[in-house]
Amino acid sequence: MLGNVDAGKSTLVGCLTRGMLDDGRGKARSFVLRHQHELKRGQTSSVALALLGYREGEQIMPASQSVEAARKSHNKDFYEVASKATHRVTLVDLCGHEKYLKSSIYGLTAMNPDCAMVVIGAERGIQRMTREHVGLCCALRIPFFIVETKIDMVPENVLRETQMRIRRILKRAGRRGFYVREESDLDGAIKCMDTNQVALAPVFEVSSVTGQHMDLLREFIKRMALRKSRTSPSLGKPTPSLERDGDTKTTGKKDDLARNADDDDEEAKAGPADGEGGAIVVSPLGDDGVAMTPQTPAAANGVAISAAQSAATSLNFMLDDVFNVPGVGIVVGGTVARGEAHLGQRIWIGPDKAGSFRQVVIRSIHRQCVPSQAAFEGQHATLAVKSVGRTTLKRDSFRKGMVGVGEPDHAAALAQTVWEFEADVKVLHHSTTIDRGYSPFIHLAGVRQSARIVQILSDKGEEVLARTGSQVFVRFRFLHCAEYLEIGRPLIFREGNAKGCGRITRLFRENGDEVKIS
């Protein structure tokens, strides 16, 4: 969830997750904000997560109804909704203030959202950060829709002015607005979020105080979560195609609005097809009423993965957080970009500051506070790990931007851990010119590090200077340590008001040779 400061993002999250209306003085957002300084100022300064859960088409509400009880039992409420729901939507509430833009960019790049909600306050209209956030969505090829809040506060002429400005900013992004004002418009809005309709962006006009059109927004999110998925032949479980802005690659995520929403469609319930021994067996609810994770036949029997299976299981797990839990040890959180993570699986996590990987064993897996036997492609999970051997894992041995890879991917991960890379870059804004030696800050998935420009080439291979609007090939070198990179991954670089975006095209070894990836 993106938008300028005071646009009403946190209030909207509180209304959606609690099924309530705001009192006009910030009661709804009090259920979402976690820090005292956030409550005092009424502004989010960190990346906050909230959960929508659905069971049999109905939303599950948290048990705690007062603000004090909700703040004390946040994890308990989260677990209660997650364990009872058969379909889940994770709302990522990002910062709106300009000084926290770095955190917002990290939330967009590292947390791998399937869809973005850009929130615009009707009384203030389009602000600078609104343009920044829409530009980030376009640069990262993230589908987005607009929610115009506080429509009860403004007269008709101001509302029309805001609508006109929304049309202008969407036009600059290559899109047209699709206004959702009746229930009959919802099917069209969902089609707008499909990959072949990226030229349209749904626009909702809501009030968190009067509840105007809030039912349409809730229904839109629910339909996005519950919509029919198709089975991915590579994973054997329901996964929709999410081609982004001309990208024809299937991302393998489970729905357009949640990073790890469980799908409970009839195809999955039917079980594995003939000849598909590795297909996923989906059991939506266990005997105790707790939602179960899609499981392989071995995991379904409660058996940890064997050494032979561990050696053959592919995995690419992107770390976005690290914890040291008393009594448990090191816990890493992140998104499964490819493959599968299972209990007992041996994986390699790195690179560290020396560029090496450390082998660990997965001791337990949690997804949205619920214990799980496995985590699959597109799902966000936390893994409790222990070292292979007698060495003790330390918190400072791990950092954001690392990856966890399976045994089959270890050699390739070492080859793709590099200091230098080339990217096809478009300079969005710079006050003068960019030359060699310029060192912007790079946001690249979970990687956040400064890098120096060592070469700028035109499409004809000539060395040039880069200016606002330039499309050039830029060779970067990290300043602090080598990072694991993948060709085609989007990046954003910025330094003050200067910013640009692009995609990685080549990787280079220390001797200058290009890394060849089969």
Task: Please spell the DSSP secondary structure of 384-448, one letter per residue.
Answer: EEEESSSPPP-GGG--TT-EEE-GGGHHHHHHTEESEEEEEEEEEE-SS-B-TT---EEEETTEE
- CB-neighbour burial class of residue 426 (10 A; exposed 0-12, middle 13-18, buried 19+): middle
Tokens of 420: 């230098």
Predicted pLDDT at 235 = 28
Domains of the chain (ranges plus CATH)? 2-226 (3.40.50.300), 297-415 (2.40.30.10), 417-508 (2.40.30.10)
Predicted pLDDT at 121 = 94
Write the single-letter amino acid at 316.
N
- CB-neighbour burial class of residue 507 (10 A; exposed 0-12, middle 13-18, buried 19+): buried
Predicted pLDDT at 198 = 63
Distance, in Å, from the CA atom of 135 to the CA atom of 173, rounded to the nearest integer, reads 7
Predicted pLDDT at 305 = 61
Q: Over the chain (518 residues), what is each successive 10-residue block's mean pLDDT?
A: 89 89 83 71 73 88 71 72 86 84 85 88 92 89 92 93 94 91 90 72 94 93 63 30 34 35 35 31 30 36 55 84 92 92 94 93 90 89 92 90 92 94 94 93 92 95 93 96 94 89 94 86
Contact 437, 445 (CB under 8 A): no
Place of tokens 């067996």: 281
Supply the pTM of this predicted model: 0.75
